[in-house]
Amino acid sequence: MLASLTLFFTIVLLSVPAALVLIPWTILTGNPAPLYNAAMAIIHTAFRLGGIRIVPSGIENVPPNTACIFMANHVSNLDPPALLSSLPGRTSIFFKRSLTRIPVLGYCFKLGGFIPVDRSGSVIAAQESVAAARRVLESGLHITTFVEGTRSRDGRMLPFKKGPFYLAKETGAPCIPISLWGTESMMKKGSFRITPGVAHIHFHPPMYPADYATRDELLHAVRAVIASGLPEWMRA
């Protein structure tokens, strides 16, 4: 429980002054980079003080000066902050459209160029999300997605959602498979308790959608690569 409290209070104590200074700065300048960088630095500090060590590998596989779609498995609530703070460059993410109604948080998502997703299943809403994602990639930002769509309860891989692969085929952006493990034992699904440990994040070489005839072929290829970087028991 000590690690949980350390993470929580570190993030709160550092985020409040950073938000008071950098949110107005972002509004005035239209440049969200300082706010984004400060958030990533706060996460790194909180993780370090909480006894969580992030060990990234394979970052040299990410093509420079190229907007990519990062595709990772998902085993813990610690995955998003651990992964985003390890990425080279700034990234956008998908988030539930309902979160835009939360004061401050919703506005910060908008400032950061994050992409709202309507989970109603509407075709029009899905097309709007893809169009927004295309604009994000064209602006030079990466997009990060957890391709299972939800956290695995026991660490084993779940079926992948097809949406990210539809986006990849539509845009042609390089896909970077990411194998993420270690966090499943530090914060389990349904629990707020955090225990110290090591988060392993491996970036695989890029996979280009044009090399695959269909969306499903790309999906299966990415899944095989992500599985190859995980402990054997997680590959089911």
Q: Considering its fold, how many domains does the chain have in total? A: 1
Q: Name the band, by pLDDT with cuts 50, 70 and 90, for residue 119.
A: low
Environment class of residue 124 by beta-carbon count within 10 Å: exposed (0-12), middle (13-18) or buried (19+)? exposed
pTM above 0.85, yes or no: yes
Q: Name the band, by pLDDT with cuts 50, 70 and 90, for residue 120.
A: low
Q: Average pLDDT, stretch 134-162? A: 92
Of residues 130 and 209, the one with the higher pLDDT is: 209
* Domain enclosing residue 182, as ranges: 53-234
Count of beta carbons in the 10 Å neighbourhood of residue 10: 18
Is 150 part of a structural domain of the chain?
Answer: yes
Is 44 part of a structural domain of the chain?
Answer: no
Q: Name the band, by pLDDT with cuts 50, 70 and 90, for residue 1.
A: confident
Is 183 part of a structural domain of the chain?
Answer: yes
Q: Taking all residues of the chain, what is their mean pLDDT, rounded to a whole number?
A: 90
- Spatial contact of 111 and 32, defined as CB atoms under 8 Å apart: yes
Is 9 part of a structural domain of the chain?
Answer: no
Angle 185-186-187 from CA coordinates, rounded to 5°: 100
- pLDDT tens-digit profile of 169-205? 999 999 999 999 999 999 877 777 899 999 999 999 9
Per-residue pLDDT, 122 = 65
> In terms of Cα–Cα distance, which of 72, 64, 75 is closest to 93?
72
Is 33 part of a structural domain of the chain?
Answer: no
